Structure 1
Amino acid sequence: MPRLRKREWIIALIAVLLTVPVTLTVAISTNLAFASGETTTGADNGDCDEILGPNTAESMYCSWMSKTPEDALDVVKFWAENDGARMKEAPPYPGPVIFCKDKNNKGPILQGCADKDQVLCKYDHSAGKYVCKDTAGNVTNPPEKACLGGEFDCSHDGSATGGTDSGTSGTSGTSGTDGTAAPAEGDGQEGDPSGQSAPRDQADPTAVPLDTTAEPRSVEDPQADTTGPTDTTETAPEATAEPRNDQNSQKTQNDQQQNPQNNQRPQNDQNTTKKTAAPPDDTTGQAAAAAVKLGMRVWIESELAPAWTAGKDQFQTAVANLAAQAGRPGVVGVKFAQDLGYWGFKKSDDVRRFVKDASAALRAAMPAGRQLAVDVVVPEMGCGASEPCQAALRGKYPLITRANVEKYVLTGDVDHVNVSSGLFSGEYAKWKITPDKALRNQWIGIRARGWDTRVHIGAREVGMAHSGADKLTAAQAEAAAKLRVDLPLQAGVQTVTLWTHRQNWDGAVWRILDEGLKTNNMWKALQARKGLNRLAVTFDAGDAEKSVTDDLNKLAEVFSEIYIHAG
């Protein structure tokens, strides 16, 4: 994704502030807000500590987020004065981080921390992670907790400063650091079995209720590299499966398991998909053309994972078909994976290779300017600062830990990442975390970790659809909309995509509208948010409620963006 220079960031921030309705509270990140020693009204420190853990770098970043457009505008004015002089003098991003390895120190300004316990970490752009040194200049490990995310070089024995202590994190320094101002995109996870440029780090999600269970769909690549230490214990766990549109994928995977000789992973042969066919005049194409005429932003969505695991020929055919749909005028791009890593894979290294292969093939086949999107889900993000909850969900879902998901998608291989919600409420309940709290944990955590500086971030919400008639009162519908639409937007999410207009799932038909395109209280609550221009919906043209034309005309009353399933 192209990076903005400092002056362009100022212009972009002002543009956001001018376009956000005054009734909507937005969180504009201001990670340089305290560089001058001045203060600004930020997020509540207690809330940030509760969600992200006390004295963590993410918690400090969270506290720097502005609460209102007025607060954010004050910050923008501060940095824009004198042609951005303060911005020019500020240290490059990411700046240095100071830790105190004395576990009794409570920070965040290293009160009473002895020199021997201080560790200064500067970002090494060539290594793609922070490298830490003690006060004597010896390279050492940061506190053990800082090693969990993969952003820090933790390959040293730490003997110089007692690297095994479970210390508390410190503060961002104000001194300069080597490197450029743009965030690095290097690999930040130890134990990557491939010596290639693997995906880089930064991610997290949560959920709301939809208690439908199913066996995960897993296909193991017989040629997968098994030498990597991070992959030897990873297996696809049983999970609460999200409804998906690729109804033929189970049959495809069963065929693959019966015929493993066909499961050869496709190579990155871009020449085979250079030419894009004319957009097909099928049901999907007709729906896309109609949606464009209605002024909607159009994405074409499909699932490439089954074809990728099936072998080179199937993968190239699937890529060609998806690219052809993307060639239609007005199409923004394609989404090629739903809840990436949650199903269909046995090893995280396979997921990384799949994203890389799919990205290269699609970019070679699609017209210039088309974007690539994926859906992800990160269960541990809903836990907030609850370490037992985080540990349990990392163990149960090893392929979709925060560290792994960040390596899948914060790489430059995709442009847009939708974080799913609504899948793990039953898991969070074990730790007395309510669905609304889990959502808040997720979105503030994602914003605090700066995902939006690497990719466009969207929400994918599955908790607003219903089977049968919608029985919510007006007050209940408004409360649901505030939680599942307003909250992500307040946390900086660009769009909220709702599952679904209409889909058969688990023996019932799920909808946002009622049967026959009848409005309900939820629809009315969403209509009140039409002016935000931030709502999207998933749509299967092959399974319309009345007709493609009637359905799209109705959806355009609320949604400005649509994901059309390519059968």
Structure 2
Amino acid sequence: MRRRLRQVFIIGLTLSLLGIGVPAYSEDGDRNCNSDLPAGTPSYVVCTWLNTPEEALETAMFWLGNDGQNMEDAAPIPPIMIDCSEEGNSCPTDSEGDGQLHDVDGPDVPGAEDGGTPECQNGEQCYVDPNTITEAEKTAAQETPAGQATQAMAQTQTTMRVWIETELADDYKAGKLTEAAKRIAALVATQPGVVGVRFTSQLGYNQTFTTADELDKFVSETATALRTLLPGKKLAAHTVVPVFGCGTDQTCTAEMTKKYPLLDPERIGAWLSKGYLDQLALDSGHLATAYATWKIDATAAQRNQWAQVQGRAWDAYAQIATEDASFTAAGSSALTEEQITKAIAERIAAPLRSDAAETVTLWSRWQNEQGQINRMYGEKWAANATWEQLKKLDTIKPRLATIYDPANPEVDPATDLQKLSEVFGQVYLHTS
């Protein structure tokens, strides 16, 4: 009985492999199967069996007979070959290639085996990939502050993941996106370990773009240009969504929507769902004061924001980050140990615990328009309570990132990057 069941199973499997369906049996022996069609089927639809059960079984037994020897003996139908030298045969001569057989993976024209551009067969101008980054462009990129910083990181062997941070909105507005994107691609090409590019900040919040269509075109065209030049690299952007902090307050929502018409959550969500961005950073700087009119404090505004992000499942499309500059102060952070502990709980732990933000980007040093430097650490890396407390967050260091401008170092890129790696697992190298 066991052998019989096994034979039936093998027959069924063989029939499926051969593309032979086993039809329902028709007692009158004909091939009509109209009775199996669902009710309401139009009369012009006709059902006819291709194989009766007996025929299907006979076919299966043919291939299974003698331990499947017929199947083993079966061979592909020999290809139809045409000898172009025979009289009467006409073969085209204007197709691609040189008409000669070549080894598998072998070059089809002279010179290609050296990795260079082969000579064209008929003397015409050969195709040159416009997206190729030349050695000259790579050399120029290495000489920039950001290029030198990436080399310094390799020399100091820090464990931070590296992003390139830049602003391409102005280049886009000036009609120079292609040149700017290629310049950034050359910089990334000098350091294979670069994760990706953050190509804009305060997107839709600043005054660079005035219409929604212009904003959407910038995101889509820039993302397309960078993905073409940098296949496999991640793309990121920074913005703010003021309406998220309102929560369920409809008056707040209406006012924020009117005040920031370009920062529509549906538009931003579309950038993610269409694959333009791999990471989206949401600024939290406005959460402390922007909602005072509606008696929404910073804690409630932040809770509202991350509830909105989580409810929209944005993290299903891209990595979501929160960005914060509140740990810095003019000259140096003056927070006490108690204050910095509270700030860590509210500004770092809370977004991560909400399971909406996956990384936290903290500004560690920046300079305002008046030239005043703001730091989270002391001048020339002097110790303070803020820096010492942040160094204790070793378990979440991979989730902490910062922005570093190698053109304006605290000491020098090698020293600065080594010190930053004490707190941060990722760094965005700024380039203008």
Partner amino acid for 2:255?
A: A
Equivalent residue in structure 1 for 2:244, among 381, 384, 391: 381
Q: Pairwise mapping of residues 435-450 of structure 1 onto structure 2 (< 5 A)?
A: 435-450=298-313
- Is 1:566 matched with 2:431? yes
1:557 matched to 2:419? The reply is no
Q: Which amino acid aligns with 2:131?
A: T
Task: Supply the distance in 2 between the matched residues of 1:336 and 1:559 (Cα, whole angstroms).
Answer: 21
Matching residue of 1:307: 171
User: Structure 2 residue aligned with 1:528, among 371, 386, 392?
Assistant: 392
> Is 1:414 aligned with 2:277?
yes
Aligned-pair CA distance for 1:365: 1.1
Match of 1:351 among 207, 215, 236: 215
Matches within 5 A, 1:533-548: 533-548=398-413
Q: Which runs of 5+ in 1 are unaligned?
A: 1-269
SS at match of 1:559: coil
Q: Could you list the per-position Cα deviations for residues 162-200 of structure 1 after superposition, in whole angstroms to 9, with x for gaps in the alignment?
A: xxxxxxxxxxxxxxxxxxxxxxxxxxxxxxxxxxxxxxx
Partner amino acid for 2:423? Answer: V
Residue 506 of structure 1 and its aligned partner are, at CA, apart by: 4.7
Taking only aligned residues, the RMSD between alpha carbons, in angstroms, comes to 1.8
Identical-pair percentage: 35
Q: What is the CA–CA distance in structure 2 between the aligned matches of 1:398 and 1:305, rounded to whole Å?
A: 18
Alignment of 1:366-377 (within 5 A): 366=230, 368-377=231-240
Deviation at residue 519 of structure 1 after TM alignment = 2.2
Change (3 A) 1:464 1:271: farther
Distance (whole Å) between structure 2 residues aligned to residue 394 and residue 308 of structure 1: 26
Give the match for residue 321 of structure 1.
Answer: 183
Judge conservation of contact 2:271–2:277 (CA < 8 Å) in 1: no
Q: Which runs of 4+ in 1 moved over 6 A?
A: none
- CA distance in structure 2 between the aligned counterparts of 1:281 and 1:385, rounded to whole angstroms: 51
Which structure 2 residues correspond to residues 468-547 of structure 1 after superposition, within 5 A? 468-492=331-355, 493-532=357-396, 533-547=398-412
Q: Specify which structure has the bigger relative contact order, considering alpha-carbon pairs within 8 angstroms and separated by 6 or more residues.
A: 1
Deviation at 1:487, TM superposition (A): 1.0
Amino acid paired to 1:560: G
- 1:497-531 CA deviation, whole Å, 9 max, x = no partner? 11233433454211111212122222122111122
Residue from 275, 279, 283 that aligns with 2:145: 283
Work out the CA distance in 2 between the residues paired with 1:488 and 1:271: 44
Give the 3-state SS of the residue equivalent to 2:367 in structure 1.
strand
Q: Deviations over 1:446-498 (max 9, x none)?
A: 11210000111111112222113322111110100111111111122221111
Quote how far apart the aligned CAs of 1:291 are.
Answer: 2.9
Normalized per residue, which structure has more helix? Answer: 2
User: What is the CA deviation profile of residues 292-329 of structure 1, one whole-angstrom value per residue up to 9, with x for unaligned ones?
Assistant: 52111000010000000101xx2111101111111112
Task: Mark the CA change 1:519 to 1:319 in structure 2 (over 3 Å): closer, same or farther.
Answer: same
Q: Give the TM-score taking structure 1 as reference length.
A: 0.50
Contact 2:133/2:185, CA 8 A, preserved across alignment: no
Partner letter of residue 549 of structure 1?
A: A
Post-superposition CA distance 1:96-117 (Å, at most 9, x none)? xxxxxxxxxxxxxxxxxxxxxx
- Return the offset for 1:405: 2.1
Which SS does the other structure have where 2:289 is aligned? helix
Q: How many residues align?
A: 295
Q: Secondary structure at the match of 1:400?
A: coil
- Over alpha carbons, which structure has the higher Rg? 2
After superposition, residues 100-139 of structure 1 pair within 5 angstroms as: none
Match of 1:362 among 200, 206, 226: 226
8 Å Cα contact 2:272/2:317 also seen in 1: no
